[in-house]
Amino acid sequence: MRKLIEIKKKNNIDEKELYQIMEIERASFSCPWSETMFLTSGQEFILAFFDKKIAGYICFSIVLDECHILNVAVHPDLRKKGIAQKMFDFLFEMGSETGIKFYYLEVKKTNIPAINFYKKNGFKELGIRKGYYEDGTDAIVMVK
């Protein structure tokens, strides 16, 4: 039996969700966010659930008609199954309903699969943030 992916928007995450997000975060990034970074006020979340567990997330904030995408990850065991696309489709649909005109994000210059995914979703390169990441790697600023 094929399991469905459920996508939800949340204004706050609870302790159980934070634990699952942190597992994905640590498995996905060499310089993961801390728990405190996920609990900063003003951030919202798109969560993807697979078999009642968090499979992926988008952390973002809204300022006027702009959506700033702060963090995106899918559990390593569940990548290449369309989960990131479903989360972005949900985010874009929500944005069109609420008047979002621009989406911004930073992506590690060396993360070619993510850059290609963002370009496929209509993002364009806007500029570079030198030494943006903790390890000194530059970030590409992208906008849609």
Domains of the chain: 1-100 (3.40.630.30), 102-144 (no CATH)
Higher pLDDT, 12 or 47: 47
Tell me, what's the pLDDT at 137? 93
DSSP the chain: -PPPEEEEEESS--HHHHHHHHHHHHHH-SSPPPHHHHT-TT-EEEEEEETTEEEEEEEEEEETTEEEEEEEEE-GGGTTSSHHHHHHHHHHHHHHHHT--EEEEEEETT-HHHHHHHHHTT-EEEEEETT-STTS--EEEEE-
Q: What whole-number percentage of the chain has pLDDT above 90?
A: 87
pLDDT surpassing 60 at residue 2: no
pLDDT digits (tens, 9 = 90+) for 30-73: 889 999 999 887 799 999 999 889 999 999 999 999 999 999 99
Higher pLDDT, 75 or 12: 75
Tell me, what's the pLDDT at 12? 87
- Among 23-27, 41-45, 71-75, 134-138, the minimum mean pLDDT is found in 41-45
pLDDT digits (tens, 9 = 90+) for 114-133: 999 999 999 999 999 999 99
